[in-house]
Amino acid sequence: MNKYLLLSLLCCFFLIQPVQAQPKAKDYTKTSDYNPYFVPFDLLITRPLGLATTVVGTTLFVAMSPFTALSSIAPPHDAFERVADAFIVVPATYTFLRPMGKFLCPGNCRPADVEAAKLESVKKQ
């Protein structure tokens, strides 16, 4: 009796699965500006340069923080955010969030722009 119950449950399980299957969404990197010949160049040259730029930008941000503090006295008081965005966030986004094989970041190479481009490409499908 247990064998038949188990067999019938397994049959129901495998018959229901195709009904619940979803079509695979297109990959974000397969857009028109994706270049498969750029992937090795991206992996071996562009990403390490981006990492080095992020490290140098972080060092410059720390070294320039006293001057940034002086410039943030006057309104709008956003000097630290602007300097950190230019020296750290943009190179880090280009290095770590940009899809492999794409040379240009979407938008201004900000994390929000990259996420918005991913959502937009999913909506197109």
In this predicted structure, what is the pLDDT of residue 19? 54
In this predicted structure, what is the pLDDT of residue 15? 63
User: Is 26 contained in some domain?
Assistant: no
User: Is 1 contained in some domain?
Assistant: no
Residue 29 binned pLDDT confidence (cut-offs 50, 70, 90): very low
> What is the rounded distance in angstroms from the CA atom of residue 119 to the CA atom of residue 87?
26
Each residue's pLDDT tens digit, 68-103: 999 888 888 889 999 999 999 999 999 998 888 888
Environment class of 58 (CB within 10 Å of its CB; exposed 0-12, middle 13-18, buried 19+): middle
User: Is 14 contained in some domain?
Assistant: no
The pTM score is: 0.65
User: Is 56 contained in some domain?
Assistant: yes
- 101, 35 Cβ separation under 8 angstroms: yes
User: Is 60 contained in some domain?
Assistant: yes
User: Is 63 contained in some domain?
Assistant: yes
Tell me how many domains the chain contains.
1
Would you say how long the chain is, in residues? Answer: 125
User: Is 107 contained in some domain?
Assistant: yes
Expressed as residue numbers, the domain containing 112 is 37-124
In this predicted structure, what is the pLDDT of residue 14? 64
Q: Which of 90, 81, 97, 94 is nearest to 57 (CA)?
A: 90
> What is the rounded distance in angstroms from the CA atom of residue 116 to the CA atom of residue 105?
12
User: Is 21 contained in some domain?
Assistant: no
Angle at 117 between CA 114 and CA 119, to 5 degrees: 110
